[in-house]
Amino acid sequence: MKPTTRPARPQFSSGPCAKRPGWSLAGLEKALLGRSHRSGPAKGKLQAVIEGSRKLLGIPDDYRLAIVPASDTGAVEMALWSLLGARGVDVLAWESFGQGWLSDIEGQLKLEDVRGLTANYGELPDLAEADFRRDVVFAWNGTTSGVRVPDAAWIPEEREGLAICDATSAVFAMEVPFEKLDVVTWSWQKVLGGEAAHGMLALSPRAVERLETFAPPRPLPKIFRMTKKGKLIEGLFQGATINTPSMLAVEDVLDALPWAEEIGGLPALIERSEANLACVNDWVARTAWVDFLAQEPATRSCTSICLQIVDPWFLDQSQEERASAAKKIGSLLDSEGVAFDINSYKEAPPGLRIWGGATVETADIQSLLPWLDWAFEKLKAA
């Protein structure tokens, strides 16, 4: 039977993600447009983003936090190009983004002492293999496979290398213990539902020490440079961005941060996202045609919830036919106005990916699930 209730908001994309509940363009009216980003009021807004993020995430006082160019990718690349090469590197890669960092470190930075600790979609590499005498690079949440690290127990308090974590689809929805990480990056368009534009980069005192004592043996474009004459550029961490930021995007994140505080801060954001995962989990448990891509329950992401189709009819088809069938579910629900952008990532096994970050209402996930059953049955019958 075709369901009758549609999700109030069909935005389930994994980035840019749904805006916060209650968001409207009116929230951007105070944006400081047409003013220099170096003016006092603009710098005040940039600083407010830094301080608001620090407070909400509970980032230690001695960590530096900057707004940087080119979104999360910019923040990660800045860290990799500025910091790596002082010692060997372990790169954990279990889906597309981790694989991308691994291939950049090997193929672009051309570092010699690199170990790739890899796993297939749905699995994690053996975290115990990561050697923290070396630098360790990993994504907290693999957005394209819906597999996250279960905790930080595998990261030692005392480590010689730096723990460099791409946490863009984890922060604001998962416990990310900054004290155990030396570099943490994210962008605004994920769990906060902000506008895509800039990246955030958090550095531990040890990461700063590395920046000030290690001169990478490679040219660094201006857009990546965090030191001048061997000293950290302090202004970068006080709102003096390297280049011109979008004050409209800044205003949008300044709209999202107070919302997050008002609903109860980080614990409430995490609770909202976990409730979304729990809702999908209940449905998967009673639905024969679908399963999580993440094998191990403790590794299932509460943000990028990735599902595979396990119905025998589907599994009997070729890879190409499966990919096309899974896409048809997405297009059918898109044309019904029920769900946008829920196809799995292009390089991931064919299936569905539903964003369950904190801006998504559990009621909307609840309304979506019968539509998935309907679309699958319709496809199979055809």
Ligand X SMILES: Cc1ncc(COP(=O)(O)O)c(C=O)c1O
Contacts of 259 (CB under 8 A, 6+ apart): 20, 22
Q: What is the C-alpha to C-alpha distance for residues 159 and 161, in angstroms, rounded to an integer?
A: 6
Residues in Cβ contact with 336 at an 8 Å cutoff, skipping those fewer than 6 apart: 6, 371
Tell me which residues in 280-319 interact with ligand X (CB under 6 A).
none
Residue written as token pair 């299932």: 300
Q: Applying CB under 6 A, does 143 fall inside the site for ligand X?
A: yes
The residue from 37, 65, 72, 307 that contacts ligand X (CB under 6 A) is 72
Helix (H), strand (E) at residue 183 = strand 183-187
Encode burial over 323-334: b for 16+ CB neighbours within 10 A, e otherwise: bebbebbbebbe
Q: Between 53 and 73, whose beta carbon lies closer to ligand X?
A: 73
Minimum CB distance to ligand X, residue 40 (Å): 29
The DSSP annotation for 228-250 comes to ETTEE-GGGGGT--SSPPPHHHH
Kindly list the distances between the CA atom of residue 306 and the CA atoms of 11, 112, 132, 301, in Å, as whole numbers in the listed order: 16, 34, 30, 8
Q: Report the C-alpha gap between 269 and 282 in whole angstroms.
A: 20
- Asked if residues 13 and 340 have their Cβ atoms less than 8 Å apart, the reply is yes
In angstroms, the CA 23 to CA 19 distance is 6
Q: Which residue's CB is nearer to ligand X, number 5 or number 244?
A: 244
- # chain residues binding ligand X, by CB under 6 A: 11
Does residue 146 interact with ligand X by CB under 6 A? no
- With binding defined as CB under 6 A, does residue 344 bind ligand X? no
Task: Specify the stretch interacting with ligand X by CB under 6 A; choose among 71-79, 206-214, 294-302, 316-324.
Answer: 71-79
- Binding test (CB under 6 A) with ligand X, winner from 56, 139, 249, 325: 139
Considering only 53, 82, 99, 169, the residue that binds ligand X (CB under 6 A) is: 169
Closest CB to ligand X among residues 27, 194: 194
Smallest distance from the beta carbon of 6 to ligand X, in angstroms?
A: 26
Mark the segment that binds ligand X (CB under 6 A) among 33-41, 78-86, 162-170, 204-212: 162-170
From residue 8 to residue 47, what is the string marking binding to ligand X with x (rule CB under 6 A)? -------x--------------------------------
97 binds ligand X (CB under 6 A): yes
Q: Verify binding: residue 168, ligand X, rule CB under 6 A.
A: yes
Binding site for ligand X (CB under 6 A): 15, 71-73, 97, 139, 143, 166, 168-169, 187
